[in-house]
A and B are shown apart, each in its own frame.
Chain A
Amino acid sequence: MTAVVRVDKLTKFYGRDRGVVDLDFEVGAGEVFGFLGPNGAGKTTTIRLMLDLIRPTRGRIELFGADPRRDVGVRGRVGYLPGDLRLYERLTAGELFTYFAHLRGLAGLGAAPQLAERLELALDRPIRTLSKGNRQKVGLVQAFMHRPDLLVLDEPTAGLDPLIQQIFYELVAEAKSEGATVFLSSHVLPEVQHVADRVALIRDGTLVLLAGVEALRARALARVAVTFATPPPAAAFADLSGVRELERHGHTVVFSLEGDADTLVKALARHRVIALDSHEADLEDIFISLYRGEETRDAA
């Protein structure tokens, strides 16, 4: 599979402040790539580097095998939704789409009218009168309207109500089925989980994990919350293989479980258990456990 996005030792400092450091990853054609991290981790920096709005301190970026700085044309194949969306307040949504259609060399309005209808967006109202959710719809329509080969979406579901979010996921799925590549950033992990093939976790400007969504889920299969009659000693479950104590509040201890449950169940049998709740781990848990791991390692 050819890489649509190739990022090589990408580093960006703002003066002495860290943006991102030595990022390496590739996004293949037709892939939905989730780019996850907390606020301030460097997601928006990476995306603005990809669009040539800011320039790398070191390292390289290629979109479709070309340097986005030298080849302005590649941006015509990209649909971009900024994280901090600022629109032309005095234009109507329809006028904005007309303007961008011209700049992108589209014959008509592309898919904008159909997209606006699906998202229930009024085209004839000035953008300054629109609510946050409706502005976000304007951002989505302009990103998808020219049926780009690569979608770069920074926190795309912010401000959208759940029904519209559902339509957004459909749009991503449709774009993927038409062969488009999707680069999706988020700090809301379960959202990416629905649609992403692979996920990168970024923290403090560096990539901490790059894995398929399935592999990630296999990594921590379950999460078990156990409520005890009396809190067990701190080290009671420290040495169990495949079992990790995630958190503890009062009488309740939360474990992550890799592999089968037998070891944990045998260990629990020595205590009086009041309640036991188990569910499949989502990315949030993986994320948290990964961060915890980093912290304990840093502390050691």
Chain B
Amino acid sequence: MLRNVFLKTLSETRRALVWWSLGLIGMAAMMISVYPTVRDNPDLNKMVEDYPDALKAFMAFGGDLDYVSGAGYLGSELFSFMVPLLLLVAAIGAGARATAGEEERGTLDLLLANPLSRRRLVVEKLGALAGEIALLAIVLWLSLLVGVEIVGMDVSAAHLAAATTSAALLALAFGALALLVGAASGRRGVATGVAAATAVAAYLVNSLAALVDFLEPVKQSSPFYHYVASDPLHEGLALEHVVFLVALALVAAGLAAVAFDRRDLAA
């Protein structure tokens, strides 16, 4: 696991990854175990129908709010908020740690005295970030798969994979943003703060766009829009939205490499 920066960074997070995984599994198990009660109460949909539009906008995951179907339930309970929240926290943490964490701890001096270019370091750290998110997404997908099978929900493995992938790409984009701010500033706290604040703003822009007219034209700039736009739990992924999220991550990482390469590193 010490062959290169990518593998070392991944292996350093193995303990945290176990805890994250347990959390995701627990969350999936808990939400799915409640589903049979919801399914047996079709009246819930009527109740939800009377919710204010604002609340519905926050609860829905793509498409219309439908609380009783398997896909609708998972969308509202997991993918509209909790899944992106957890994956974003993990990704922003990893992105902020990537170079800024090492710079603040002072290990960067020794590391970069090796024949390793700064650009290469950014690429390997991005790889580790992506690997970490991919592992968590796979764990989430598998636990949803098992839960859906046990409870007998009408959601296909492919649609679960689509929703999980979309959430992972969303997280990757914000993780890369944290990486960029950390690479440019050398400060982990700044990286975490800027990426988290941007994520909150992007989330609000997309969720409120249904209610506030002036946000409607700008909602397509929000990564959260591209996360939900294809309605992954019903329709799968759409190339344009995947491309948007991946491009965002790559642009941020590219800028991170350039910014990091030009700076004086803190002693």
- The residues of A with any CB-CB pair to B shorter than 8 Å are 14, 44, 48, 51-55, 72-76, 78, 80, 82, 84-88, 90-91, 95, 98-100, 102-105, 139, 142
Contacts and interface: CB of A to CB of B under 8 A. Distances in A.
Nearest to B120: A72
Interface residues of B, number: 23
Among B110, B113, B116, B117, residue most surrounded by chain A Cβ atoms (within 10 Å) = B113
15 contacts: A48-B109, A53-B112, A53-B264, A53-B267, A75-B112, A76-B114, A76-B115, A80-B113, A84-B109, A102-B3, A103-B5, A103-B111, A103-B115, A104-B114, A139-B110
Nearest to A19: B264
B46 interface: no
Contact of B106 (A54, A73, A86): A86
Nearest to A98: B2
Nearest to A75: B115
B221 interface: no
Given A48-B265, A86-B106, A102-B4, 8 more contacts: A44-B267, A52-B112, A55-B264, A78-B113, A80-B113, A85-B110, A103-B116, A104-B114
A53 B107 contact: no
B157 to A, nearest CB: 37
A72 B261 CA distance: 12
Among B12, B108, B264, residue most surrounded by chain A Cβ atoms (within 10 Å) = B264
Contacts of A104: 114-115
B211 to A, nearest CB: 47
Interface in B110-157: 110-117
Contacts, number: 72
A86 B107 contact: yes
Contacts of B108: 53
Across the A-B interface, give the 8 residue pairs with the lowest CB-CB distance, nearest first.
A86-B106, A76-B115, A80-B113, A54-B264, A103-B114, A99-B2, A72-B117, A75-B115
B115 A95 contact: no
Given A53-B265, A54-B264, A86 B110 contact: yes
A142 B12 contact: no
A102 B2 contact: yes
Nearest to B104: A86
Nearest to A54: B264
Nearest to B5: A103
B265 A87 contact: no
A55 to B, nearest CB: 6
A89 B5 CA distance: 16
A130 to B, nearest CB: 15
Contacts of B8: 99
A137 to B, nearest CB: 14
A156 to B, nearest CB: 14
Contacts of B4: 102-103
B87 to A, nearest CB: 25
Contacts of A103: 4-5, 111, 114-116
A75 B113 contact: yes
B117 to A, nearest CB: 5
A101 B262 CA distance: 27
B49 to A, nearest CB: 53
Given A90-B12, A102-B3, A51 B107 contact: no
Interface in B7-65: 8, 12
Contacts of B267: 44, 48, 53, 84
B16 to A, nearest CB: 12
B109 to A, nearest CB: 5
Contacts of B113: 51, 53, 75, 78, 80, 82
Interface string B253-267: 000000000101101
Given A99-B8, A102-B3, A102-B4, A88 B107 contact: yes
Contacts of A73: 115
Contacts of B115: 72-76, 103-105
A202 to B, nearest CB: 17
